Amino acid sequence: MQTLTIGIETVLHHAVTEEDTACHMGSGSLRVLSTPTVIAWMEGASCTLLAPYLSEDVTTVGTKVDVDHIRATPVGGKVTVKAELTALEDRKYTFRVTAEDQRGIIAQGTHERFAVKTERFLAKTYQQQEAGEAHA
């Protein structure tokens, strides 16, 4: 496992498809990159950045997103997404996230993730669901 340091970053590239649009996602009526998609891409970049630093029995879960989606990108547009680790506190990771197309920044903000033991997290989640269904 590599050593995790503040300031490391990763960059991912995407092409906007019909499936990425607001009208397809149900978050609007236009054929432009949807806010849910750009946020998912930002979370994906954050996950990609952390992956080499986590043991096999650990993953991260997103817990907070604060993003301004400031400009539309049409179908066929190319988007570059960057995640930079800005803070690390115990199991909490904080990222500065940006997305840009050929004209510049289209979205920017912060994202937080927490490291969890995969099996323990899933067991607890399903146990809570079953308990809730028993009370319904």
Helices (DSSP H) in the chain: which residue ranges? Answer: 22-25, 35-50, 118-135
Of 112, 20, 131, 8, residue with least CA distance to 66: 112
Please check whether residue 115 is in contact with residue 53, taking contact to mean a CB–CB distance below 8 angstroms.
Answer: no
Please check whether residue 82 is in contact with residue 7, taking contact to mean a CB–CB distance below 8 angstroms.
Answer: no
Q: Which residues contact 70 (CB under 8 A, 6 or more apart)?
A: 105, 106, 107, 108
Which residues have a catalytic role annotated?
35, 43, 69
Q: Is residue 28 classed as helix, strand or coil in its secondary structure?
A: coil
Q: Which residue has the tokens 């650990």?
A: 58
